[in-house]
Structure formats: C-alpha cells, structure tokens
Chain A
Amino acid sequence: MDRLKASKILLVGVLTIAAVFAVYGGIEGPARAPLALPFLLAIPGFAWLSCPGNLKATDVAVLSIALTFAMEIAIGTLLLLCGLWSPQAGFEILLGMTAAGLVCTWTCNR
C-alpha cells in the first residue's frame, strides 16, 4: 500500500473515531460540533472517493462533500419515510458506509 493511500485511510480513521467519541462519548456543548462535523461533512464520501486514483485533490474534496451530503439525505429520507427516524441509527449506517468505503479503498488497485 502506498503512502498516500495509507494517509487517506489514517485521516478517515481519525476523524471517524473523533465523531464516534462525540456521539457516543456523552460529549455535549461546544466541543461536540468540532469533533463530529468534519466526519458528517465529508468523510463517508471521502472514504469511497479515495478509490479513483486520478482525481485532482480539489475534485476529491468537492465530490466527497457532495457524496456525503447525498448519503445523509438518502439515509435521513429513508428513516423518515419508513417511520424509523433515529439520528443515531442514521449515524451507524453512515459508519457502515464509511467502513465499506475504506475496504474499497484498501482493495482498489491492489
């Protein structure tokens, strides 16, 4: 595995752990947003978009944000319309999708 891919996986891992800590660690108040927001704004998408290797950094950033928002909209709508609304459940689905993206990145181009 090359160094760039390793650093991407490390970044995803660190920000995911920070978000998990914020959501499940009982963090309240102003400290919660800086811990959870980076993950919620871009990381699930970034985990997937590390796979296509020839994207520019700016393209990856834009696509990561767009894909993450799109995932959150899809998950939120699904939970809402199924009568299963639960932000925590949505967060767990996002974590699952991030993990799947990491696996994809890990195995891509091997």
Chain B
Amino acid sequence: MGGLENRSDPVLLLSRPVGPLQNGFQPARASASPLAQARVLPALLPLLCALAVWIACLRRIDPSAMNDLGLASVLPYRAWLPHLLLSAGFFFVICRQPGRVWLPCLYLIALVLVLHATPAIEYGTLRYPWAWKHLGIVDYIQRHGSVDRATPILSAYHNWPGFFAAAAFIADLVGVRDLAGPALWAPVVLNLLYLAALPMLYRSFTDDHRAIFSATWIFLSGNWIGQDYFSPQGVSFFFYLVLLALCLRFLARQPSPAATDNWRVSQAMATLAQWLERGLPTPSALPNGASRVVVTATALLLILAMTVSHQLTPLVTISALGILAAFQRLAVGLFLFAGVTVAFWVLYVAAPFVAVVLPVELRAMGELSASLVDISVVSPGQAFISLICRLLTLGIAIAAIGGGIRRLACGYRDGVAAALAAAPLPLLVVTSYGGEIMFRVYLFALPFLAFFAAALFFPSPRHGSSVGTPAVTALIGFALAVAFVFANNGKDRQYAFASEDVAAAQWLYENAPQGTLLVEGASLYPSQFRNVEYFTHVSLADEPPESRAELLARPARVLARWLDSSDYHAAFIILTRNQQAYVDAMGIMPGGGFEKIKQALLASPRFRLVHATSGTMIFTLNQAVRGMGEWID
C-alpha cells in the first residue's frame, strides 16, 4: 500500500496500529466466510428498503401542485424515508464495515438516483430553461454544420462550441434527432461521473475510505447550485476533477530542495511544499515512460476540451495548475499549456464575443451583490429556499474549517487541498459572470470543502469511529440530503416544465417563420431549442423599470405597438405558468402585474390567442382588426 506509513511522519510512526474494522484504513481482503457474507445482508437492507420506498413513491407526485418551495412541497412524508435509510445505512457501513468498498459505492449510486432521477421521472421533461437553449445550439450545428461566432444570439455558446459539437456529433452517429429525452438524464449521468471521479481525487489526500466516501456524500448533497445538467459546465467540471486527480496522483512529483537550483526563493518554496505535504499518501508511480506519455496526453486533451467548451472552467484550471506548480507538486508544463491555450482561444477564436463582453465585464468587476437574492422582495417560499441554500453552503464551509483544524491537530498539513479550495477565488475579482460568480466559486471549491468537512468526523485513519459516530454522521448526512432537495429543487416551479407547455413551445418554434419577434413574460420557459436564429427575443421581466411601468399601465396598447413592427415577418407573445411563477416569486411585477397583462391581452380585440394549453398562452396581433386601423397611437 502506497500509503501513510511510507512517509517519514513522526506522528504516524508513533501511531498505534488499529484493526481495519475500527479505522477504515484500507479495504480488507475479500472474505467469503459465511460470517462475512451474513454481515453483508444487514448492511444492504437499508439500501434495498430505501430503493423500494423510493420506487413506491414515484409517479404519486403532482408537479403541477408545486408551490414556491419547489419539489419538496409536493413530496409525501414517506418520500423522505429513502434519504434517511440511505444515510443511516451508508454511514453505518463506512464506520463499521469499511473493508467493503463496493458497499458505500452502492449507497452513493442510490443517493444519486434518489436525488437526481426523482425530478427526471416526475417531471418527464427537461428541467432548466438553459438546457433547452443548449439543445438549440446543437440543433444549429446539425442544420448548418457550423457556428456563427459573430451572432448576438447566444453568442457565448457559438464561441465555445466544443460541448455542443460533441453532442451534435454523437447524436448524429447514434441517430437521435431530438436530444430533449436523453438530456433529461444528464444530471444522473453527470453525478455518477462525479461520484466516480471524486474518490480518485481524494485518494491523493488520504487513504482513509471513511473520509473518501463521506466527502463524496457531502459533495453530492452539497452540490445544490444546479450546474449538473445538459451543459458545457457540467461536463467541464467532470474534466476538471479528472485532471486534478491525474495531476495529483499520476503526474505529481515529490518536492525536493536538494534537486532545485540555488535560487533561494525556489528552495524556500520547495521546503514549504514539503512541509505542506506532510502526511499525504505517496503519488502512484506509472510503470513506464509510455504510460506517462498516455496520462500526460490525456491531461493535455482534457485541458483542450475544457478550453473549447466553457469560459470559466479553464480559468479555474489555470489557477489550480498554477498552485500545483507553485507547490512544486507538478511540472510547470501543464500550467503553461493551459495558459497559452486559453489565451489563444479567448484572444483569437472567441475574439468577436470578447470584444463585446469585455467592457461589460470590466464595469461589473467585483460586483458580488448580484449573486444573492434580495430576500426582502421575494415570496416567503423563495426566501426560505434562499435561506436553506445559504445555510447549506455555510454549514459545509464551517465543517470544512473544523475538519481542517482537526487534520492539522493530527499532523497533516493539507496545503495542496486547502490551496485548491481557494483556487477559484481569483474569479471573484476577474468576472461577475452575469451575477453567478459566487455560485461557481462555491462549486469549484466544493470538492475540497467536502473533503475537509468529512475530516471533521474522520480526520485520520488512526482515529477509530466512536460508538456515536455512525448515528451523528447519519443524521448530518440525512440533513444534507434533505437540504439538497430544498436548495436544488426549490425553484422547480419555475424550472420544471409540463409536457403540454413544452408542446406549445415546440409548436411555436417549429412554425414561426424566420425573422420573428417573440415577446416573452420572462426567459424561463423552453425556448431557443430549435431554429434559434429565426427569433428576436424580448423579455418583459428584463425590461428597464420605466418600460415595465408603462407596460403595466396599458398592457394591450404597449404590446400591440411593439408587435406592430415592419422589421419582423411575424410577432408573438408567449406567457407561461413558469414565467408567472418566476415573476411573482421574485417580485418583478408587484401586485399581480403578470396576471394583469395576461387578462388584458385576453380581453383586447387587438390580440388573437393562437395557441393555448392550461399553462401557456401564445398571442399574436389580430390581423383582421389591425387591417381596419382599429388603433393608432
């Protein structure tokens, strides 16, 4: 075992050997004795019960009855039982039967299913309006075989097309024309990939399987910000985890002051790096040069794939690789490659986008307040959801600090893990990222925060699990899983779409001609997923306050004026229940403004309802009345 005992750590040399059942130090040898087999069944029982209850609860939920608390508001009480059973079983297994690595893996897979397959099955349609826009770019590539880097419509996606190109490529080869169905399962698939990649990363910090699996549980429950859908950032984040695991486990080098030149700073960094690495497992050695070439080429390709797919992930990657190089944990080559590749892409390939966005970003630099919801103006339900999100984030951060202190007390320095947790922080001053930057920083820090948070209970392999540890950790694990449902699915009244509303949007996007003006209540509905370049979108929720005030004073007259433009071949207004939920919950149009607009359009002879479901209304100008010159403002 390339583990802790290989290092000259006085703390560890003094440690008393403890049996594997108490300390979870390494997987026990596979045992086929009847006693061992008999102990597997009780360990599996909570898992099987959880899955049975979960399946029994499926399809008994009415998503249309959701209120501002999201999915949690329509879950029956017994739907929380799987979370409890999984948490209890999982932490019992890792504390009492740490030798069986496959058992906690099964629990973690089940957790992913319960957390992420539930919305997919219950809603039956692709969640998040942005996921639909991503389908639109794939559709564009399939129809045109190119991207339009100068277009103002979804410009960022056209300038970072890697993920969409791969999706179009795979969809064409597999013969799938409509990706909305397969994309529905992206959160499940991506979280399974994170689940597979995280232990690989954590093994470079500890050999303790209890800490590794607990950290994975905390990550899966703490990853509430909802980037794990059919998106470039979801896949790029997987690449980021794999790249760091490769760098820390297979491409890592041992800092050695003797091997460095006489430059004092360099020697001081090497000494610091050695000190900060105290207690860490030895990196895995690759057997030959060819293996090293393959692993290095994999790392380079991952950097390349991130660079062409997403704006933010490569920046965090540069920061993380820079940290590893500064700690002399990694040769500087990968850091330089990432820097040059990203610079080339941003300054040359994505130049049309950067030229437009850079001035805006510079003005918004350092603005963090836009990331946070103003609790005073949102609905009570959304205020509660915001509170849960903040408590979940804060709880993990505080636990991470506590875990870090416990690790320090045990003789570990964990300098690399702590620095990697801080790697995304420079982004806070570099970009506002449309007001989302705080969430993204949290996402990139989360794998390392989760590791330290797990260390609060399992700081070192020498610390056995006390009698109360399984119960305490199970309760905390349960609380995290419940909080995840509130935090991640708390806006599903806005983000989850009924199939009839999807059908209405499909009707519109497939039938409207090129050069259509589409006025929407808000951008939260299935939009831009087909013929994306045909439409000019105007979102009422995003209008300046003066414009909104004018609109609310005389909705029919103002909207008729907007639609009656010779610049467009057709013009529609689309109002949906998701838009209304968003506008009402966020206090964008106080006093029932959205409903007022809807009623005004229904009552006005200037407008004709061309398509309607119980949740969607699509209006256009009434040409007959228009021809009579019924209104002239």
- Interface of A toward B, CB cutoff 8 Å: 19, 22-23, 27-29, 32-33, 36-37, 40, 45, 48-49, 51-54, 58-59, 61-63, 65-67, 69-77, 79-81, 83, 85-88, 90-91, 104, 107-109
Contacts and interface: CB of A to CB of B under 8 A. Distances in A.
- B interface, over-half SS: helix
B565 interface: no
Contacts of A88: 173
Nearest to B175: A32
Given A40-B173, A83-B146, A49 B294 contact: yes
B78 to A, nearest CB: 34
A44 to B, nearest CB: 11
Contact of B239 (A23, A66, A104, A107): A66
A75 B294 CA distance: 18
Interface string B177-220: 00000000000000001001101100000000000000000000
Nearest to A79: B165
A73 B298 contact: no
B169 A87 contact: yes
B627 interface: no
11 contacts: A19-B173, A40-B173, A51-B290, A62-B200, A63-B298, A66-B242, A66-B298, A73-B309, A85-B145, A85-B146, A108-B290
Interface in B145-187: 145-147, 161-163, 165-166, 168-170, 172-176
Contacts of B197: 62, 66
B349 A51 contact: no
Interface of B: 141, 145-147, 161-163, 165-166, 168-170, 172-176, 193, 196-197, 199-200, 235, 238-239, 242, 246, 250, 284-288, 290-291, 294-295, 297-298, 301-302, 304-305, 308-309, 349
A87 B171 CA distance: 9
Counting chain A CB atoms within 10 Å of each CB, the highest count among B169, B175, B288, B294 belongs to B169
A77 B161 contact: yes
Contacts of B295: 52
Given A36-B174, A69-B235, A73-B165, A85 B290 contact: no
A58 B174 CA distance: 26
Nearest to A65: B193
Counting chain A CB atoms within 10 Å of each CB, the highest count among B166, B297, B298, B305 belongs to B166
A79 to B, nearest CB: 7
B308 A73 contact: yes
A91 B598 CA distance: 50
Contacts of B288: 108-109
A51 B193 contact: no
B235 A72 contact: no
A70 to B, nearest CB: 4
A28 B146 CA distance: 25
A20 to B, nearest CB: 11
Contact of B287 (A33, A53, A85): A53
A104 B169 contact: no
B488 to A, nearest CB: 24
Given A49-B294, A76-B166, 12 more contacts: A48-B294, A59-B200, A62-B193, A65-B193, A66-B197, A66-B298, A70-B239, A70-B298, A73-B163, A73-B309, A76-B169, A104-B294
A48 B199 CA distance: 22
B330 to A, nearest CB: 18
Contact of A66 (B170, B175, B238, B287): B238
A88 to B, nearest CB: 8
A76 B309 CA distance: 11
A40 B170 contact: yes
A29 B174 CA distance: 9
B247 to A, nearest CB: 13
A86 to B, nearest CB: 8
A45 to B, nearest CB: 8
A65 to B, nearest CB: 7
Counting chain A CB atoms within 10 Å of each CB, the highest count among B163, B196, B197, B298 belongs to B298
A70 B305 CA distance: 5
B173 A53 contact: no
A38 to B, nearest CB: 11
A102 B69 CA distance: 52
Contact of B291 (A52, A62, A65, A72): A52
A61 B250 CA distance: 16
B175 A69 contact: no
Given A66-B302, A83-B146, A76 B165 contact: yes
A58 B287 CA distance: 18
Contact of B166 (A49, A61, A73): A73
Contacts of A61: 196
Contacts of B309: 73
A69 B199 CA distance: 20
Given A33-B175, A108-B291, A72 B166 contact: yes
The 9 closest A-B pairs by CB, nearest first: A76-B165, A85-B145, A52-B291, A87-B172, A70-B305, A73-B305, A73-B162, A72-B166, A32-B175
A60 to B, nearest CB: 10
Contacts of A62: 193, 196-197, 200, 242
B396 to A, nearest CB: 24
B168 A67 contact: no
A40 B166 CA distance: 10
B146 A80 contact: yes
Contacts of A104: 290, 294
A107 B294 CA distance: 13
Nearest to B302: A70
Contacts of B146: 80, 83, 85
A80 B161 CA distance: 9
A94 to B, nearest CB: 9
Contacts of A32: 174-175
